[in-house]
Chain A
Amino acid sequence: MVADYAAAILSAGSTTLLVAVLSLLVATFLGLTAAFAKLSASAGLRAVAGIYTFVVRGIPDLVIMLLVFYSLPALLNQWIEMLGWDFRVEFSPTAAGIATLGVIFGAYMTETFKTALQNIPRGQIEAAIAYGLTRRRMFTHIILPQLVRLALPGFTNNWLVLAKGTALVSLIGLQDVMFRAKGAAEATAMPFTFYLIAAGFYLAVTLVSMLLLFLVAHRFDVGTRKVLS
């Protein structure tokens, strides 16, 4: 019986990982966009990006999730009602979960990418302009390769926090590892066993991610000078 429930919990691992990876994509996209906005010459763009990161990082993840899943559709439905239309908006837990985690970690990614961009030597950008590189080629040939290396430690960290943050989506009814663990715990009166299995899953994800990202970091560090040792 324990084995059956354990299998059910671990098979939801694919849902957890899918939510995590899709959120990471959203977060990376938002983070890159907002990082460039923060460094742009336009005061308007800088202000929008600044408000985005300030607000998101000032509110707990759980509250943002409740806002996206409950408050936002409620607000939209009020507007729809006022306009006299005949339908109601409802978000699926999956979409709401991915959107929320994407928006939250997009704000953290913004800071990571911004610092990384600032650490690319200014002379290289000037050299690229002097060589007449188009903006697109400058991005793919000069900025991106270094951005990956410079942002990797922060990116790794954000991913590790994000992978654990997915546990929150169980609270809005998404059937992830945590949701199944809760189900098993309530059905069997063996809560410790099943939450421990869930904990083991998250720990395994953390350890595997750390190993993979260590290897990737090694690859992108090729060609940098080591000052020490």
Chain B
Amino acid sequence: MNWDVIVENLPLYLEGAKLTLILAFASLCISFFLAISLAFLRNSENAALRYTVMAYTLVFRGTPLLVQLFLIYFGLAQFSLVRESVLWPWLSSPMVCVIAAFVLNTTAYSTEIFAGGLRHIPVGEIEAARAYGMSGLVQARRILIPAMLTRSLPLYGNEMIMMLHATSLASTVTLLEVTGVARNITLNYYIQFEPYVTAAAIYLVLTFALVSAFQLVQRRWAGYLESRIG
């Protein structure tokens, strides 16, 4: 066994874990706001808007994230228009491509989750808000968005964990997050067992921490829904 190699390279793993968390956190933060807006459009009375959002979520939920990532990172270079544009230094960076792909992907899933939450708000709550004379914006801010988010919490928690795990795909486009670090160590030291097991352990710890934090949030913000069922 070569565990001393792992101990020697622990700082690399730490850097990797930091990048993993940054990728997951950045993608989730950006997609959170996009998904809330899109969830309203997904339930809009305007059929054109509704179907456009539906088509977007269908395409991004219906194809593998790996394909989406490769389309953006390798694919865009096919067009000279893109290569010669001022944005090219950005679009050729793996970091930007990875976050763009992750945001597009997780926004599609989150939109459907939030849209589902929005549809399940009891009509009475919305009628009450109208009866109080709230404008559309005030209704959304005070009633709809909080009710939608608390109702979507369990599913959104799953999506967050999915996103955390999806960051491992960033290693396929040269980024050195946890999986990328493990891969590099296997190549540099010709050992196949320890590096990946260490990576797996790190993901387990991160997942466990996220799940625990989420249960606290759930009890704090969505506790009122549970007592009603039980």
Contact = CB atoms under 8 A, between A and B. Distances in A.
Interface of A: 55, 57-64, 66-67, 70-71, 73-75, 78, 160, 164-168, 170-171, 178, 181-182, 185, 189-193, 195-196, 198-199, 202-203, 206-207
Interface of B: 1, 58-59, 61-68, 70-71, 74-79, 161, 164-169, 171-172, 179, 182-183, 186, 191-193, 196-197, 199-200, 203-204, 207-208
Contacts of A195: 67, 70-71, 74-75
A70 B196 contact: yes
B179 A202 contact: no
Contacts, number: 119
Secondary structure type dominating chain A contacts: helix
Contacts of B171: 62
Given A71-B197, A164-B63, A167-B64, A58 B75 contact: no
Pick from B59, B76, B168, B203 the residue with the most CB of A within 10 Å.
Answer: B168
Q: Top 5 A-B pairs ranked by shortest CB distance? A: A192-B75, A74-B192, A60-B165, A167-B64, A206-B62
A191 B74 contact: yes
Given A70-B186, A167-B66, A199-B63, A63 B192 contact: no
Contact of B196 (A58, A63, A166, A185): A63
Contacts of A66: 179, 182-183, 196
B69 to A, nearest CB: 9
B76 A192 contact: yes
B193 A75 contact: yes
B67 A62 contact: no
A202 B62 contact: yes
Given A55-B204, A78-B193, A171 B63 contact: no
B72 to A, nearest CB: 9
B74 A60 contact: no
